Chains A and B, each alone.
Chain A
Amino acid sequence: MISGRWSAIFQSVTDTRSNASFLLPILLIAVSPPAALAQETDPYDDIDATAIVRQADQKLRGESSYGSTSITIVRPDYTRELSMVSWAKGDEYYLILITQPARDSGSSFLKRGKEIWNWIPTIERTVKLPPSMMSQNWMGTDFTNDDLVRESSIVVDYEHRVLGEEEIDGYLCWKIELIPHQDAAVVWGKILTWIDKKDFMQLKAEFYDEDEFLINTMQGSEPKEFDGRLLPSVLRMIPADKDGHLTVMRTLSLDFDLPIPDNFFTVRNMKSVRPED
């Protein structure tokens, strides 16, 4: 690959790779398009991009978590608000309870391993979501059911490579390129993600198809401390080709590693679960 060749050429000249982390704050001030930097030299070759991504991913997870979120769906003709609370345990279990608006309040979504269930109180029924629903937009947002239950793993399904550094909202970030493994069941051709160097927050992500057209952009902002972790409290999902379309996800509270038993995540429980506190 290109980076290997370049680094070999410049090794004798720079020999600063091991000191990269020291030099970079200085370079930061002088740096103009960091892309230029990445093209000429590739001091990022040795950086374990995967480790960075994993760390960022881990921040969002824990053994378990409980949080409350509000979602705003913006469309040219209307705007919609949703509020929900969610419990998660590892990668296997996930339970979401809608609390607002009143019409949808009490609806819940349960992920158990690879199964997804939906409880609808107005008709008193649980429905197991078939594959045909997985790619549908979840509750009218720009996220798919897939995104919601994170069937694909940003760590496992991709190859990672640091392209350079960029500043986003005053935070210096790694710009990392994610290319899906050949077999990975993801639709994207490429994802670019910006992860803040200090606290490993994902501040931005761009989703491309294989023809390198930008399809979606995700922006993280307004970092807050949630149970000791600094995370962006606001996530914006912006489709590229649709004017006036936007989904905003605002994390209101998030607590980690509470003890939640496995049997909390059952079809039975999803019908009667209530928000904590």
Chain B
Amino acid sequence: MTQLRVTRRYVQGVIEAAQAEGSLDAVEQALGAIDKALKDNKDLRNLLFHPTISRAHKKELLRKIVGAGAPEVVTGFTDYVIEKKREHIFPSVYGQFRESADALRGIMRARVTAAYEPTPEQVQRLKTQLEQALSKKVIIEVKVDPALLGGMQIMIGTYILDGSIAGRLGRLSKHLQEEVGNIKSAA
């Protein structure tokens, strides 16, 4: 839990710096690149978290990943994090940054899980409806999961709207179990 708190503090710093500079999007992109590289590459993770690799080496490595055109805020941030020996926050930085940046821009991300790939019109319709309901800009991320059988689940932040067939069946089965239990005890 402390790690999440640390990440949040560092990210707050980057966001404020990036906002002052007006380079929020560029910073997000660069951090996304780091995140992707870390996710795809196990060796890179091992290297970055290894205690005997020198700091200069690690800094150089991250500079290469973000590329030469990256905003100075990003390189400054990575250097500082490594200087402070907080490398372990890197995997959670991007998600945290995106969350905070989205809040600044007035954007909400809806993670939609559907049984079948929805058509573009369906996604558009869902988007307008959600935007109306939440009065915020909504970005939709679609995932397909056949286990839902039909319908869809929409997750926004820590809230969930479960309209999937699997979820409804689950609730029906629970309801029936309770009802049968009541009948049995009445008998």
The answer to whether A binds B is no
